[in-house]
Structure 1
Amino acid sequence: MPLPLLFIGIAAATGGVGVGKTIKAGVDTYNANDINKKANQIVEESTNYLNNQRMACGDSLKQLGSEKVFILNNSIKEFLDTFTKIKNVDFRETEGLLELSKIKLDEQDFVELKQLVNFAVSLAGGSVAGTAGGALAAFGAYGAAQALACASTGTAIASLSGAAATNATLAFFGGGSLAAGGLGMAGGTAVLGGLVAGPALLVMGFVAGAAAKKSLEQAKTNRLEAVQLAEQLDTASKQCEAIRRRTYMFHNLLARLDSYFLPFIYKMEDIVKTEGDDYSKYSEDSKKCISSCVSIAVSIKTVLDTQILTDDGLLTDESSNTVVSTQEFIDRLAILGTK
């Protein structure tokens, strides 16, 4: 017996509602998947950019460490070898190039410079596998005081590499596992300017896998969280850029100081050969040359003494002040045409 038309109409209407819900569910699922995919892309792009900045920052710190080692092994070593031969040095009566009577390079400074030279020799000649890169990065970030503290233990390279491994910021720049002197992008925590970046990186794929919720509302929440996370990662990237710029400034300052330093060292060597080792008997021009040479050595040591980063990965105010004062010193050298 044919079904009554009323029942057929009801069945058709009910079926239409079911089809409509199915279509809507399908559309919602598609939109949710699309939003989740874009959310993942947002996080991935920010993470990749941060990773590139991280590696570039680590390389710049290593290059600064290498520059420090080079200057200590060459210019500073040559300066000490010659200047320590000169007797009766007294700058109080010398109208030096840059008012050297106000600048003191005392016995402790010489001791520290000699220790730094010895440290640089050990660092340059002891490239222990897996430690040299971390040590150079640490030497770039730290001031002379930290380096000398390590050097005094007799295990300078291992100590600085250990510092790079345990300091979260340096470990973050180093890459790899924390035990190997770095910090994997998906492991642990990396403190950078007060931002905990490590756990955030674990969110890569936070909407991937079977357990991810596919609802449209959840997908919208995921997108919001992805945007917030990307902002945090971008903040870390900007901090990396700032550190890299400061590191390049220090590298440039040292290179420029060294370019002025070497000619004065050569002149000082000639003075010792021709006028002897008694400063009190030098001509006025020779005294000015010696005092100028010392002034540059003092400026170089100031740069070496300055710590660029705090343990939390923040740029130090001291490093900013050193950049300004050293640049002013170099400008005066250039104006006076002493190169």
Structure 2
Amino acid sequence: MPLPFIPLIVAGAAAASAAVAGKKGYDSYQNMKETKQIAEQLESRYKNAYNQFETSRDQTNSNFEEYGLLKLEILDGSIKDFVNEFKQIKNVNFSNKAVTDEFVTNQDIEQFVLNIEKQVVKAGQVLTAGVASIAGGGLAAMGAVGATTTFAAASTGTAIATLSGIAAQNATLAFLGGGALSAGGLGIAGGTMVLGGIALAPALAIGSLIFASTTEKKLHEMYAKKAEVNTEVEKLSAAKNVMNQISSTTNSMKDLAESTNKLFMDYIYKMKSVISQKGLDFRNYSTEEQSIIHTNYKLAIIMRDVLNTTILDEKGQLVGNLQSVITAKKKAVTDLKGN
């Protein structure tokens, strides 16, 4: 007996519906699988880029702080020692051609000693208060900005506040964590803007697309998110390169300061020996001994120039021609080693 025609149609329709449902289910599964795969790849890529950037940022900040501390220690150490010894010498005259190749007036000498003595006093005050007291990235500011600028306050009582204030007003220092909006200036927001508006945390809401209902639309949204993440990764990479360049330059300045200071301390020792043996009247020194005093003076100038060299301008960017400055100062120190 033939089967009723209508039940067969119903059965066929049911089978077709099941096939369509199965196809949709499979497509949905595939969409979900692909969405998750893309999300995992994006999350991994972004986190890797962000972690690399964070490492560079932390290293840059650390380098600034180390160089800032070195500056303070040099000012409170060899520079202070030089001022104390050099000031005792009477009748200093750098006009003898056997001693100097350029004429230096007594007024120039006195003004130079007076200026660096002010920095010595302020550096001593900061160190006496303790490095821990330099809040808000002040130590990093000391490393990134010239000593003259960081100690530009009217009185020694504001030296520490000045250091912290500079950190807040310098975009990169603020971005490194040294400044706060409450301290004035651009603050962290300004630092972020200068470095290209990169995200400060990996909060790209990738997960919301993974756990949402998986549809073709969500897969398209994940592809759009992929483009967004790629843009952020490029920004992180660019910012990392900026940090690495700043960090490298800071290390070069630190190395220059250390090598100059080493030679400077050697000549300060020689100057002390001259004073101990010949007294305090420059006129009683031999040509060689006068040359030792003059070399001390020249090294003090080089040391001052190195410590006063600014690495970052007020916009948080590397100052131009720093490498040429470093090269010139290295040559000047090398030339003095032969004396």
Shorter-chain TM-score bucket reads 0.7 to 0.9
Segment of structure 1 superposing worse, 284-293 or 262-271: 262-271
Which deviations, in whole Å up to 9, do the C-alpha atoms of 1:164-219 show, x marking residues without a partner?
A: 134331122236965589x99xx745347x32345x23452422237978611111
Q: Which amino acid aligns with 2:191?
A: A
Q: After superposition, where does 1:44-193 map in structure 2 within 5 Å?
A: 44-96=47-99, 99=101, 101=103, 106-127=109-130, 129=132, 131-132=134-135, 134-150=137-153, 152=155, 154-174=157-177, 179=182, 188-191=189-192
1:179 and 1:34, CA in 2 relative to 1: closer, same or farther beyond 3 A? farther
Segment of structure 1 superposing worse, 15-24 or 160-169: 160-169
Question: Are positions 1:195 and 2:198 aligned together?
Answer: no
Segment of structure 1 superposing worse, 58-67 or 160-169: 160-169
4+ residue segments displaced more than 6 Å:
210-213
1:143 and 1:103, CA in 2 relative to 1: closer, same or farther beyond 3 A? farther
Q: Which residue of 2 aligns with 1:206?
A: 205
Q: C-alpha displacement at 1:149, in angstroms?
A: 0.9
SS at match of 1:4: helix
Q: Which residue of 1 aligns with 2:252?
A: 249
When the two chains are superposed, the root-mean-square deviation of aligned CA atoms in Å is 2.9
Work out the CA distance in 2 between the residues paired with 1:47 and 1:67.
Answer: 30
Q: Scaled by the length of structure 1, what TM-score is found?
A: 0.87
1:177 and 1:79, CA in 2 relative to 1: closer, same or farther beyond 3 A? closer
Q: C-alpha displacement at 1:23, in angstroms?
A: 1.1
Which deviations, in whole Å up to 9, do the C-alpha atoms of 1:107-149 show, x marking residues without a partner?
A: 3322220111011101111127563572211111111221221
1:112 and 1:301, CA in 2 relative to 1: closer, same or farther beyond 3 A? same
Larger Rg: 2
Q: Which amino acid aligns with 1:87?
A: K
Q: C-alpha displacement at 1:280, in angstroms?
A: 2.8
Asked whether the equivalents of residues 47 and 202 of structure 2 are also in contact (C-alpha less than 8 Å), the reply is: no
Q: Which amino acid aligns with 2:206?
A: V
Asked whether the equivalents of residues 100 and 295 of structure 1 are also in contact (C-alpha less than 8 Å), the reply is: no
Q: Which residue of 2 aligns with 1:297?
A: 300
Q: Which residue of 2 aligns with 1:324?
A: 327
Q: Scaled by the length of structure 2, what TM-score is found?
A: 0.87
Work out the CA distance in 1 between the residues paired with 2:105 and 2:203.
Answer: 55
Q: C-alpha displacement at 1:305, in angstroms?
A: 1.3
Work out the CA distance in 1 between the residues paired with 2:170 and 2:300.
Answer: 30
Q: Which runs of 5+ in 2 are unaligned?
A: none
* Number of aligned residue pairs: 330
Work out the CA distance in 1 between the residues paired with 2:121 and 2:169.
Answer: 24
Q: C-alpha displacement at 1:91, in angstroms?
A: 1.7
1:236 to 225, 239, 264: 239
1:35 and 1:326, CA in 2 relative to 1: closer, same or farther beyond 3 A? same
Q: Which residue of 2 aligns with 1:264?
A: 267
